[in-house]
Homo-oligomer: A and B are copies of this chain.
Amino acid sequence: MAPETPFPGDPDDSREAIMRATYCALKQYGYAGLSIQRIADEADLSKSTFYHHYDDKHDLLTSFVDFILAEFTRVFSLEAGDGPEANLRTFVRLILDPTTAEKVSEESPASTVLGTYVELRAQAVQDETIREKFTEVDRSFEDQIAEIVENGVASGVFRDVDPEQTATFVSTLVAGQTFRQSTRDDDPSEAVLAAFDDYVRESLLRDDA
């Protein structure tokens, strides 16, 4: 397996080894170049072991989306805890901050984890099962953000905003930066993060907070 995976420790089982190998193969070959053979090679497993766990590439990819979502939630739960404002910023920065992204990959935009995400998600335009999966992913993200905002409103740190609407707005912004960053030459994330800080101050925080 390639040395630069962002996952801690050794995989627990062949299912997890396949997930990590999928991540590495996607990074290296992109969505179009992904094949079961390459994943099996990367995981050091036979194709028959692969088919013991997954029906086909499609089945693999929807499981892979769950795996990435669980990874994100795990990392976020490790970093969260300093109150609603800090938690909201942490959530957004974990995805968008270039210094966090660098920890995952120091390569060209083409091979970052966000690029992999964009390639996978774009399949949802044509593929109903993948579309359902990403609808689920969005809802999970939005629920997590709405909970942070709700806590912020309840504790008087945030104004009396609608948590769901705010969560939709923030998720959309994060999705936009993910989409743009992986599909353009430069990286506008500094301006987006600065504007997000202004948004939190002007639109979310109570004036006396």
Binding site for B on A (CB under 8 A): 30, 32, 109-110, 115-116, 118-119, 121-122, 124-126, 128, 130-132, 134-135, 138, 161, 164-166, 168-169, 171-180, 182-186, 188, 191-192, 194-196, 198-199, 202-203
6 pairs, CB–CB < 8 Å, chain A vs chain B = A110-B131, A121-B122, A121-B183, A135-B184, A165-B191, A199-B199
Among B30, B110, B125, B195, which residue has its beta carbon within 8 angstroms of that of A182?
A: B125
Q: How many copies does the complex hold?
A: 2
Among B119, B132, B166, B169, which residue has its beta carbon within 8 angstroms of that of A185?
A: B132
A169 x B121 contact (CB < 8 A):
no
Chain B nearest Cβ from A128, distance in angstroms? 8
Nearest B residue to A170 by beta-carbon distance? B195
| Chain B residues with CB below 8 A from A132, complex form | 185
A90→B178 CA distance, assembly (Å) = 24
Nearest B residue to A120 by beta-carbon distance? B122
B172 x A177 contact (CB < 8 A):
yes
B180 x A172 contact (CB < 8 A):
yes
Identify which of A109, A125, A135, A180 gathers the most chain B CB atoms within 10 Å of its CB.
A125
A134 x B195 contact (CB < 8 A):
no
Among B126, B188, B192, which residue has its beta carbon within 8 angstroms of that of A32?
A: B126
Chain B nearest Cβ from A170, distance in angstroms? 9
| Chain B residues with CB below 8 A from A195, complex form | 165-166, 168-169
Chain B nearest Cβ from A35, distance in angstroms? 15
B180 x A125 contact (CB < 8 A):
no
Nearest B residue to A201 by beta-carbon distance? B203
**Told that A119-B122, A172-B176, A172-B177 touch, could you supply 20 new A-B pairs with CB distance under 8 A?**
A109-B131, A110-B125, A110-B126, A118-B125, A119-B125, A124-B182, A125-B182, A131-B184, A131-B185, A135-B184, A135-B186, A165-B191, A168-B188, A169-B192, A169-B199, A172-B188, A172-B192, A173-B176, A175-B180, A176-B176
A180→B125 CA distance, assembly (Å) = 10
